Amino acid sequence: MTNPKHKAIISRRHLALTLMAFLLMALPAAAQDTLPELHINKDYLLSYATDAANIAIAPIGWGSREWLGFAAFTGVTLVLFTQDEAIRDFYLRNHTATQDNISKYVLDPMGKWYLAGLLGGMYLYGVAANDGHTETAALLTGKAVLLTGGYTLLLKGVFQRERPDATDPADPFNWYGPLGDWRNNSFPSGHSSAAFAAATVLSAYYHEQCWVGITAFSLATLVALSRTYDDRHWASDIFAGAALGYAVGRLVYNNYEKQKVTVTPYSSSGFTGLTLSYTLK
């Protein structure tokens, strides 16, 4: 006669194996990486300090590829610096009423108020709809924008470059250094850095929907160009801002991506199941 206790053990084991088999069928044959969802909590807030520190010390760990990229950035910035006056004159000669309105009412606020509204709306929707994917996108992008803004302000204070509309005639060679007047805050462009930080994170996070990246970077480029069109920045300012936003956005996303949960099918004699591993940055 079968022992009831032994029978119960067999039933539980059968149930466990059935559930494991169902999970394995639902997974691809290879390991599956799952990115964690973000919420406003202690870990998320502490990540601001971690990412900010990583940005500051990033050059220490650069290899030849990163230094080559920095050299290319420096070279392009210097070339644009030599052409700042010519580019400004081109924009000033080609103003139209329609372009003025688009720049004033669409592109300028898109680099600050519209962007803040978009991310705030995404976050509220994510919380209200219990959509962790959208909530995570909003929080991750918001962090990149805020950290970029902090480093942009720091660089503005270090360089103290005069804006093109500050004096007549405008002079792109007016750099007053860290002891200058805080009104001279042209380099780098804050609108450009914020727009490109947001575009970089959104493009990476929604990489499976290529239209997100195309749209985000197109809008970021228009926002950046509008700053020269409005005579608020030199061309070299907006390029430096765009590069800064991209670099910070990429670092923030890369740090987030390192926090993967890896789910791997596992099988050995007498047991079938799943292996979970969590990678911290």
Q: Does residue 178 have a cis peptide bond before it, meaning omega lies within 30 degrees of 0?
A: no
d(C-alpha 15, C-alpha 146), whole Å: 49
Q: What CATH class has 37-258? A: mainly alpha
202 touches 122 (CB < 8 A): no
| Per-domain boundaries in the chain | 37-258
pLDDT along the chain (281 residues), means of 10: 46 42 36 75 96 96 95 97 97 95 94 95 97 96 98 96 93 91 91 98 96 97 97 98 98 90 52 49 45
- Residue 123, CA distances (Å) to 117, 164, 207 in order: 10, 37, 19
For residue range 124-157, list pLDDT tens digits in order: 999 999 999 999 999 999 999 999 999 999 999 9
